Amino acid sequence: MEMTWLEKRLVNRESKARFNIELLQKRLDEIDLGTIHNALELGCGVGYVSSYLSGEYKINVIGTDFDPDQIESARSLHREREMLQFQAQDASHLELKDGGFHLVISQHVFHHIAEWRQVVQEVARVLRSGGYLIWLDLALPALVKRFLKPWGKTYGLYTFGEVKSEMQSCGLSQLFYERLVRWLFVHHHLVLQKA
């Protein structure tokens, strides 16, 4: 789903990028970084996290976003190079080969995608066996989800249990979980590994 101008202003702030990078740094402690050579970031926005991961850890990173304008902004802010590329991609229908990534990162993306179950399946498809998914997003209580469903046809509406169940059914096992409360929102942070 393409975001509105206001949503882009909110998600593309440098302070939000710093927050996402801090959380990513903590989660990277949960995985075997020595096995990570190729990473994919879903919903990279203007590319701060992808650029950080590529530069700091010397990992080949492809940052993807549904919105071509976001990708153009990412390319303007962060010089593409051999280890860093940005591509306009639909996370629910990735044009990437099976098993091509050791790590997939999705931070604050699923709630923007109505076909979030398909995204989980795509993540499982592009991850190598033993690869990791770092996932951070909002999830709704069942009652709130039921209330919002008529208005949420273009957004990802799910409970945390639904997301976790879909990930497990696609062969992703939980290694780490943290529940974060930030302002009025509850975020769930997972590290999963593909069997």
Tens-place pLDDT, residues 9-60? 667 778 888 989 999 999 999 899 999 999 999 999 999 999 999 999 999 9
CB 120 within 8 A of CB 163: yes
Query: Apex CA 152: angle with CA 146 and CA 156, to 5°?
Result: 90
Distances (CA, A) of 4 to 14, 18, 45, 58, 97: 18, 22, 13, 33, 30
Angle between helices 160-169 and 116-126 (to 10 degrees): 40
The Cα–Cα gap between 114 and 110 comes to 8
CB 193 within 8 A of CB 172: yes
Q: What is the mean pLDDT of residues 180-185?
A: 72
CB 139 within 8 A of CB 55: no
Q: What is the mean pLDDT of residues 168-193?
A: 90
Statement: the pTM of the whole predicted model exceeds 0.85: yes
> Could you please report the per-residue DSSP string of 52-94?
HHHHHH--EEEEEES-HHHHHHHHHHS--BTTEEEEE--TTS-
Per-residue pLDDT band for 186 (boundaries 50, 70, 90) equals confident
The Cα–Cα gap between 32 and 64 comes to 23
The Cα–Cα gap between 104 and 173 comes to 14
CATH 2.115.10.20 matches 5-194: no
CB 19 within 8 A of CB 25: no
Would you state the pLDDT for residue 8?
67
